[in-house]
Amino acid sequence: MTRPALLAAALLAPALALADEPLKIPRARRDFAITANPGAAPWKKAVAVHASIDPMGKDQGGNAYDFRLLWTPAYLYVHFTCPYDSLTLKPNPDTKNETYALWDWDVAELFIGADFNAIHRYREYQVSPQGEWVDLDIDRKAMNGASAVKWNSGFEVAAQIDTAKKVWYGAMKIPASSILNGVPGAPERNEPGLKFRLNVFRLAGKEPVKGVGPSRSIVWKRIGNPSHHTPEVFGEAVLLK
């Protein structure tokens, strides 16, 4: 894909995305230290996007959540607000090292790719309520879990649990280079008008289970089958000025 093809011709003001238009991501004034605090000043510019359905489109009620996105030339920032009735947390959390199979517990996920000519290639980023993390380099045509998990994006995460309000917050600071590297024609850094293909997920359940599936998944864009790894139905997003 050529660089002009990656840039949108017109940019609109920040607003909640309709089902048939790209999600519009506003630009942060400057880079900032990652924080899960929803009241922190940088997040006030981001628009909350509500996600409330399972992969088949069924409303998930109390497991619905909001996510927010911001960008700078160097980073993509993501924030999750996840109300809960109960949390299923991994014992003895490790926040220093990558936690493989984090999806067997409560977690929030971003799947994102910039190559519209190779939608099977994208990156996956996850954060748990305890601040655990995992990042994966995905190639759906050559799925290799061991190889995917060895990839290191250099992203940062933050998380906090408000037990009084029964809501957990997660945040990610993702280097733009980790998304754009290897994409033909892509710029080296984020730019206004740059488009991505993405989907956003939350996994919530009363006990650990293997895999995902409708009983645990709350998604932004309906998938139509249990697997999150269905890039054919990812939504689109565009970076605003």
Q: What is the pLDDT of residue 19?
A: 46
Domains along the chain with CATH numbers = 3-239 (2.60.40.1190)
As a whole number of Å, the end-to-end CA separation of the chain is 22
Q: What is the pLDDT of residue 15?
A: 34
Q: What is the pLDDT of residue 3?
A: 36
Contacting residues for 207 by C-beta, under 8 A, at least 6 apart:
88
**Is residue 1 pLDDT above 80, yes or no?**
no
The percent helix, strand, coil of the chain (3-state, each to 5) is 10, 35, 55
* pLDDT band at residue 225 using 50, 70 and 90 as cut-offs: confident
- Here the tokens at position 104 are 């067997």
Q: What is the pLDDT of residue 61?
A: 83
* pLDDT tens readout for residues 36-93: 999 999 999 999 999 999 999 999 888 899 999 999 999 999 999 999 988 989 999 9
Contacting residues for 143 by C-beta, under 8 A, at least 6 apart:
229
**Mean pLDDT over all residues of the chain?**
88
Q: What is the pLDDT of residue 63?
A: 87
**Is residue 148 pLDDT above 80, yes or no?**
no
The answer to which of 140-144, 200-204, 223-227 has the lowest mean pLDDT is 140-144
The single-letter DSSP state of residue 64 is -
Going by their DSSP bridges, the two strands 23-25 and 235-239 should be labelled as parallel
Over the range 59-90, which residues count as b (16 or more CB within 10 Å of their CB) and which as e? ebeebebbbbbbbbeebbbbbbbbebeebbbb
pTM of the model: 0.88
